[in-house]
Amino acid sequence: MNETQQLSVWNMLQNAKAMQEALKMEWERTDYFQELYSDIRYYGYRYNDGSDPPGQSPATDTQALEILDAKQAYDLRIIKLKEKYSRWRAFLQTIDEQTAQLLENHFELGQEVTHRDLTFLFRSASRAWESMENAREKGAEEEVREEYQEMCRKFPELRRKSPRRHPYLIDGEIVQLTQMEYTMKQSREYYATK
């Protein structure tokens, strides 16, 4: 198997195991959230003769935002894992039933498959997986392109502008050049004098 096929097999494995990981994370969700609250730093003041300023605030508002971010990231991870698993299930629907059953048994249930069958499975399935992933990536790129074009229609100032030209005095003449053109011209003149 070449490197691309190996990567495809690894991706298939990750997608097949994604639901198990998502369910495990859902099971541990409450404990994880509780641990976030146990890490709160409380106010503390130093006791002294009064000449030193009191202790620093632990910025509880910042801590609250950090906890909210961690909760959202955890939930988003679960959602992404479920999306990966649904891609895996959709992939199994696109290939022949026997191959799909063998892949499901091997990746999800951990059943042993002979080396010869496994090699054949991986070669045929990796090609199908690659084509599905390429189509998905192209769709995502097209979606981003459409969103960018929509944003540019709403906010024309976001559209990339050509490099700004500045006036430079060269050989007694004012010339409009970009910063890059001017730097390249200077370096050419510098090396021409050596």
Chain segment 155-172, per-residue pLDDT in tens: 776 666 666 788 888 777
In this structure, what is the dihedral angle of CA atoms 70, 136, 125, 101, given to the nearest 10 degrees?
70
Residues 170 and 147 in one domain: no
Domain coverage including residue 175: 164-194
Span 10-22, pLDDT tens digits? 888 899 899 999 9
CB within 8 A of 182, min separation 6: which ones? 166, 168
If one counts the domains in the chain, the total is 2
Residues 111 and 91 in one domain: yes
Residues 13 and 101 in one domain: yes
Tell me how far the alpha carbon of residue 10 is from its chain's centroid.
17
Residues 96 and 146 in one domain: yes
Model confidence, pTM: 0.63
CA-CA distance, 121 to 103, in Å (whole number)?
7
CB within 8 A of 42, min separation 6: which ones? 58
Residues 40 and 83 in one domain: yes
